[in-house]
Amino acid sequence: MGKISVDSNYRYIAAANEVNARITQRQQALALYVTLVVSLLAALVAMRPNQGITDPPIEWLILGFPVASLCFSFLNYKSEVTLSNLRAYLSELEKIDTESPLLPAYNTDRAWSAGANKGRRFHDYASAILAIGGNAIGLGAAWKIYPLRLNAEPIFLYIGVALALISIIFLLATPVWSYQAD
């Protein structure tokens, strides 16, 4: 039996489909983050002191907000690196047939690539704004509902704010890992 090879067109289509799947996963991570923040906020409110719950684990619950945003920033990083790798692969495939200059090369041509990156930055902005808002609402609500507990154990609030800042910086740094055409 002879050697079977896969045509570059099929490889390109497969990689382009993978890019679309990764973009979808990135959007799902954003939706998951919003769901986690809303759930944590609901738990925070449900355990407020006037509900009869004695000694709720508020110190640990408030860490859920920055941990969720930190995990979200890691998922965002993973997606960005994977998308950059796939786009570099697509760029290599686009360079195979350079005898047809009439066909544009989306990943190889800097004008197309830069335009795609500019559009994708809005996902990064939305992610950072959600992380800022989610942490501010969560930690702020905890401070408002449980001021005595957080004054007694402020280290949890400090750790929460520090982790939130790390995740936000990480989200804002995402363009560093974006694909750049040669």
| pLDDT tens digits for range 95-124 | 886 666 667 778 888 888 888 888 888 999
Question: Is residue 181 predicted with pLDDT exceeding 90?
Answer: no
Mean pLDDT of the chain: 88
* Full domain range(s) for residue 46: 8-177
Our count of domains for the chain comes to 1
Q: Is there a domain that residue 75 lies in?
A: yes
Report how far apart, in Å, the C-alpha atoms of 6 and of each of 9, 14, 41, 137, 153 are.
Answer: 8, 11, 51, 52, 62
pLDDT in tens, 139-155: 999 999 999 889 988 99
Q: Is there a domain that residue 1 lies in?
A: no
Burial of 128 (0-12, 13-18, 19+ CB in 10 A): buried
Q: Look up the pTM and report it.
A: 0.85
Q: Which of 44, 69, 70 is nearest to 140 (CA)?
A: 44
Q: Is there a domain that residue 153 lies in?
A: yes
Mean pLDDT of 51-68: 84
Distance CA 36, CA 26 (A): 15
